[in-house]
Amino acid sequence: MKYYSTNDSTAEMSFKEAVIKGLPQDKGLFFPKEIPTLPAEFFQQLPSLSLPEIAFEVLQPFVTPDLTPEALRQICDEVFTFPIPLVEVEKDIYALELFHGPTCAFKDVGARFMSRCLQTFAEPGRPVTVLVATSGDTGSAVANGFLGLDNIDVVVLYPENGVSHIQEMQFTTLGQNISAVAVEGTFDDCQALVKQAFSDEELNQHRNLSSANSINVARWLPQMVYYFHAWGQWKKLDPEAEQVTISVPSGNFGNLAAGLMARQMGLPVTYFVAATNLNRIVPDYLETGVYSPAPSVCTIANAMDVGNPNNFPRIQELFQNNLFALKKVVKGFWADDDEIRGTIQLVHQASGYMMDPHGAIGYLSLRQLLPELKTPGIFLETAHPAKFKKSMEDVLGQEVLLPEQLQVFLNKQKQVTDLPNDFAGLKLLLMQQHKEGTL
Ligand SMILES: *Cc1c(COP(=O)(O)O)cnc(C)c1O
């Protein structure tokens, strides 16, 4: 498969080049030259296929020839080791639980897949340093995805007072090839430092820098896999039904872009919902036709606090910038914090099912839109509710227990380097660590 840039359809890169570069020079996004369709037999078999089997079939055309079938099969076996169950919450509404991985959020899937690709492509004797800025979930998923891999070091930059305690423990206690840097500043400051590092010539001569943000094709594409899996599971539960709506709680819109790509490959999903919090750029665009990014607004669904969604150009590419065609398939929805809290409470009282603030927006969108769309619905539960322990306990008035995966981090030793918010300090740190071979 060749990839072009959404800003320049003539440029061509291989999968390997696109993974290593992350972002095209012209600041567009990498996009596959062709979108293959899967044969009817694949969909007939889907309900009985395992996640690694689905992953192999879906991803093979996108990684050939840079990954051999054997290499891809091994990566799929290593990445998809945890269940992604479809759970019935009430009649005709199902949750796809994407939080059973090591850091309890859907980002585990993409981060684990990308880490294995990068390791396969790294040249021996030329270690790669993955530099990543995080507001919480990305840092933990990337750090855990890359933990223990040869030839790759990860440096996570985070705002010293900007992440939850559990999130911080997930990427500061790992040791080995993972180091954490607490920056005296905000997430935007961290992101600016990372950008500056990529453009610093001297630093790039010393270290082979790579990025692991959600724009990377190796994080984006594997997210398609669980849409196919969800449909297969749903068919098993409801073999007669033909039409289905999937609601995707969205921030940067990488996850929804992957779902729409799966549909383009033949997955028979009737509608998707672009469900957001108060950062309602995309729902507003669907309603008014005006796309206006804005500074992000803080909400209790904080992993979706994005005012300028970085993956949206991929959705525009999929629909060839045709708003009319997009609106036929994608329905917009947004909810404020009070609606999120009320929904969590209501569902918990009614059925005992505990939704996190992000998944709750997906659920609410289905409750409001399904009567009109006249299909059953699936919403993505993008993170475990305990990742938002404090908000959840405030809403439900009861203790929310941590799953085992999260609990283990709390008893470990934190290792952090503190850094003022200036580039000279980061550069010195990265150069020094390199010389001493401590990374
Ligand atoms: C990252 C994240 C999202 C948003 O996903 P996008 O692909 O950026 O739209 C939603 N929920 C949770 C819990 C997340 O961590």
> Which of 250, 312, 363 best tests ligand 1's pocket when mutated (most atoms within 8 Å of CB)?
250
Rounded percentage of the chain residues whose pLDDT exceeds 70 = 98
Q: What is the mean pLDDT of residues 278-286?
A: 97
> How far apart are the C-alpha atoms of 185 and 419, rounded to whole Å?
9
Of 119-128, 275-284, 286-295, 334-343, the range with the lowest mean pLDDT is 119-128
> What pLDDT score was predicted for residue 384?
95
> How far apart are the C-alpha atoms of 403 and 209, rounded to whole Å?
34
Q: How confident is the model at residue 97 (pLDDT cuts 50, 70, 90)?
A: very high
> What pLDDT score was predicted for residue 34?
96
Give the strand pairing for 2-5 and 30-32: antiparallel
Q: What is the mean pLDDT of residues 51-71?
A: 98
Q: Kindly report the protein residue whose alpha carbon is nearest to atom 15 of ligand 1.
A: 303
Q: Kindly report the protein residue whose alpha carbon is nearest to atom 14 of ligand 1.
A: 303
The total domain count for the chain is 1
Select the more confidently predicted residue: 244 or 304. Answer: 244
Long-range CB contacts for residues 192-196, cutoff 8 Å, separation at least 24 = 193/133, 193/157, 193/421, 193/423, 193/426, 194/131, 194/132, 194/133, 194/157, 196/423, 196/426
CATH number at residue 255: 3.40.50.1100
pLDDT at 177 over 90: yes
The closest-lying atom of ligand 1 relative to the alpha carbon of residue 253 is: 9
190-231 tens-digit pLDDT = 988 988 898 899 998 888 888 887 889 999 999 999 999 999
> What pLDDT score was predicted for residue 436?
54
> What pLDDT score was predicted for residue 219?
95
> Which of 246, 363, 382, 389 best tests ligand 1's pocket when mutated (most atoms within 8 Å of CB)?
382
Q: Ligand 1: does its nearest atom lie under 6 Å from the Cβ of 169?
A: no
Question: If phi over 0 gives left and psi between -120 and 50 gives alpha, with beta otherwise, what is residue 94?
Answer: beta
How is residue 75 written in tokens? 């990566």
Residue 225 is assigned to a structural domain of this protein: yes
pLDDT at 303 over 70: yes
Of 59-63, 90-94, 130-134, 378-382, the range with the lowest mean pLDDT is 130-134
Q: How confident is the model at residue 371 (pLDDT cuts 50, 70, 90)?
A: very high
Q: Ligand 1: does its nearest atom lie under 6 Å from the Cβ of 98?
A: no
> How far apart are the C-alpha atoms of 402 and 400, rounded to whole Å?
7
Residue 270 is assigned to a structural domain of this protein: yes
Q: Ligand 1: does its nearest atom lie under 6 Å from the Cβ of 171?
A: no
Torsions phi, psi of 157, nearest 5?
A: -100, 130
Residue 378 is assigned to a structural domain of this protein: yes
Residue 68 is assigned to a structural domain of this protein: no
Residue 326 is assigned to a structural domain of this protein: yes
Q: Ligand 1: does its nearest atom lie under 6 Å from the Cβ of 139?
A: no
Distance (angstroms) between ligand 1 centre and the Cα of 251 equals 6
Q: Ligand 1: does its nearest atom lie under 6 Å from the Cβ of 30?
A: no
332-362 tens-digit pLDDT = 999 999 999 999 999 999 999 999 999 999 9
Q: Kindly report the protein residue whose alpha carbon is nearest to atom 11 of ligand 1.
A: 382
> What pLDDT score was predicted for residue 435?
52
Q: What is the mean pLDDT of residues 140-167?
A: 90
> What pLDDT score was predicted for residue 164?
80
383-398 tens-digit pLDDT = 999 989 999 999 999 9
Residue 94 is assigned to a structural domain of this protein: yes
Q: Ligand 1: does its nearest atom lie under 6 Å from the Cβ of 304?
A: yes
Q: Which residue range is the domain that position 387 belongs to? A: 83-104+220-396
Residue 329 is assigned to a structural domain of this protein: yes
> What pLDDT score was predicted for residue 439?
47
Q: Ligand 1: does its nearest atom lie under 6 Å from the Cβ of 383?
A: yes
Strand order in the sheet with 93-97: 86-90, 93-97, 377-381, 245-249, 271-276, 330-334
Average predicted confidence (pLDDT) for the chain: 93
Rounded percentage of the chain residues whose pLDDT exceeds 90 = 77
> What pLDDT score was predicted for residue 438?
47
